[in-house]
Amino acid sequence: MKLEVPTHVGIIMDGNGRYAKSLGKPRSYGHKAGADNLKKLCKHILKRGIKCLSLYAFSTDNFKRPKEEVDYLMKLFVTMFTNNFDFLKKEEVKVLFSGRKEGLPEDVIAACEKIEKQTQNKQKYTLNICLNYGSQEEITDTFKKIIKQIQNGQIDIEDVDKNLISKNLYQDLPPLDFVIRTSGEKRLSNFMLWQSSYAEFYFPKCYFPEFDEAEFDKALDVYRERKRRFGGLNKN
Ligand code: FPP
């Protein structure tokens, strides 16, 4: 029996730089092409009935890139969150951001907070944007949060189980069913390690700006053919 569409999809949007290079253009061209693609792709993913989408937009380690590229990306995020995601507001999408605020420019934080506020009461879909995000950092922050709750007497050490840990991550989201990383690289690179414990993985060769609606549908077909056992045995 084929699987239903995944509830929670994660996309590691990789290959913008190589896409630009393949066309003899600067890396910024690739990021802009990635952003343009993302807008179309989000609309398509909504149409496919995926309830929750997590995007790896900028990792904590991406700050190691040249200042010029980091500055370009930060400006692009502000433009995207301020103007280009307007369609989300009409579509019952709650926008959330995962990651540390420290280190992000003020205007990026303001743009994130604005769209989070504008969409906070939306219920049907969730778009979780991982920005200045690292999964090991998230797990570290969650440890600290839980330890404080124990120290304050809000919970006992015996209350700590995987459910409680999941609920104390940056966002309380369903587990990832399907993780896609474009550009042929086969790594998680510190993306939602806890949440992807039982996820299926897919590594298309195309660069993110080329990962269009048809490529996404191909990915969904691959997912639906997978046999998920969660450590048990197949029923059929
Ligand atoms: C990885 O490709 C991509 C990024 C670090 C940036 C992702 C950003 C976008 C797709 C822009 C829009 C995003 C949002 C959420 C508004 P890379 O630069 O590492 O590519 P390379 O490995 O080929 O160098």
> How distant, in Å, are the alpha carbons of 8, 28, 193 from that of 179?
9, 25, 11
CA of 162 to the centre of ligand 1 (A): 31
Measured by CA distance, the residue closest to atom 12 of ligand 1 is 35
Contact present, 120 and 45 (Cβ < 8 Å): no
Q: How high is the pLDDT of residue 191?
A: 98
Contact present, 230 and 208 (Cβ < 8 Å): no
**Residue 208, burial from CB neighbour count under 10 angstroms (0-12, 13-18, 19+):** buried
Give 87's pLDDT tier (boundaries 50, 70, 90): confident
Strands annotated E in the chain: 8-12, 52-59, 93-98, 125-133, 178-181, 200-202
Average pLDDT over residues 142-155: 98
Q: Which of 11, 12, 13 to mutate to test the pocket of ligand 1 (most atoms within 8 A of CB)?
A: 13
Span 172-229, pLDDT tens digits: 999 999 999 999 999 999 999 999 999 999 999 999 999 999 999 999 999 999 987 7
The residue among 235 and 98 whose pLDDT is bigger is: 98
Average pLDDT, the chain: 95
pLDDT at residue 81 is higher than 60: yes
Which residues have CB under 6 Å of ligand 1? 13-18, 31, 34-35, 38, 55, 57-58, 62, 73, 76-77, 80, 129, 208
The residues assigned a catalytic role are 14, 62
8-135+176-224 is a CATH 3.40.50.300 domain? no
Span 15-33, pLDDT tens digits: 999 999 999 999 999 999 9
CA of 231 to the centre of ligand 1 (A): 34
Q: How high is the pLDDT of residue 230?
A: 82
Helices (H), 9-132: 16-22, 27-47, 67-79, 86-90, 106-118
